[in-house]
Amino acid sequence: MYDFDKDINRRHTNSLKWDVKENELPMWVADMDFETAPEIIEALHKRVNHGIFGYNTVPDTYFQSIQMWWEKYHHFKMKKEWMMFCTGVVPAISSIVRKVTTVGENVLIQSPVYNIFYNSILNNGRHVLSSDLVYDGKAYHIDFGDLEKKLALPQTTLMILCNPHNPIGKIWDKETLERIGALCHKHHVLVLSDEIHCDITAPQEEYIPFASVSKINQEISMTCIAPTKAFNIAGLQTSCIVVPNAVLRHKVNRGINTDEVAEANSFAISASIAAFQKGREWLMELRTYIEHNKQKSVAYINEHIPELYVVPSKATYLLWVDCSKVCSDSIMFVDYIRKETGLYVSDGQEYGENGKQFIRINVACPYQRMMDGLERLNEGIKSFQRK
């Protein structure tokens, strides 16, 4: 029903992703090359046609649309009083770091992880403490001994969880989330769960909200959710913070209001409501298309570039690719490929020191565009190996 093969020219549109040279193909930042759901566009047209764009309130229907979606599709019943509007997941994370931790304290992450986590921690004068995910050459797992040792440090007061995990595309299971929650509670560590990628999973897979698995998790958690990743509307600046604990919620609420990131622009609310009320069919078709792209890209790499290994994933539209048989420095490697072929992908070191032999590739684009990128990657690697 929806045309995800449509080739849309995004150049010269002030696009962060596409502000590149004419010969370059960007497959880096987590931003899709698909038009958003027509139902969202229709809602935005209706809002534009009204013609007045003054200050906005956040209506109950905004929160109700999120409550309905999470209860129906993620099996988690959220109360309205737990929920707060914020202009984005990243502003929410930075604000929460400032409000619930003190300068000099440790904020624990699990590297390799979304690079902006580092900014939100370091720019606010806190220390990054990583309990690195363990890579066995095929997949990742948590070293719970190391995790507990670092959570037990008196200076560790907050853990930022990525659920599902970017860049590795892992969906954390119930047992793992429950265990993380129990350890954090034991050592008096709060959990900030970034769940922005939750709706981009393989068609038969489901993510599990961190706060849904136990009463303990609920009481110590602050969850950031948004329609922006799944519906490709990041530029509309909308997200929701869910905090069941009343005392913690008061702190978070004061933080986002002090930081002035709690007010909606004239399009954020209309787009969000349309996404959650009317966007399910579009999203399901999108997930099927992305899964097809992921499978085809893995097959291409296995056949034509067997030196690379794509870490299996059940979430996100990102490929996390092990390049250790080709290079030891992903920064130099992706720079070479970009100069030689025009393909622009992310170097793994952005996501932590233990990502330095990986690259991240965004395959949320029309199939033919993705194949162009894979052929450029093949060409670039062959050239890199000859030099």
The residue written with tokens 């097809």 in the block is 292
Which pLDDT does position 387 carry in this prediction? 73
The tens digit of pLDDT for each residue in 115-144 reads 999 999 999 999 999 999 999 999 999 999
pLDDT number for residue 386: 87
> CA of 60: how far to CAs of 50, 162, 360, in Å?
20, 28, 38
Instruction: Write out pLDDT tens, residues 230-278.
Output: 999 999 999 999 999 999 999 999 999 999 999 999 999 999 999 999 9
The total of other beta-carbon atoms located within 10 Å of residue 103's CB is 9
DSSP letters of 7-65? Answer: ----TTS--TTT-S-TT-EE--SS--SSPPPHHHHHHHHHHHHH---------HHHHHH
CA separation for the pair 218, 56 (Å, rounded): 30
What predicted TM-score, i.e. pTM, was given to this entire model? 0.97
Domains identified in the chain and CATH numbers: 25-36+280-386 (3.90.1150.10), 41-278 (3.40.640.10)
pLDDT mean across residues, the chain: 98
Whether pLDDT at 11 is above 90: yes
What is the widest separation between alpha-carbon atoms in the chain?
Answer: 61
Distance CA 163, CA 334 (A): 27
pLDDT in tens, 300-349: 999 999 999 999 999 999 999 999 999 999 999 999 999 999 999 999 99
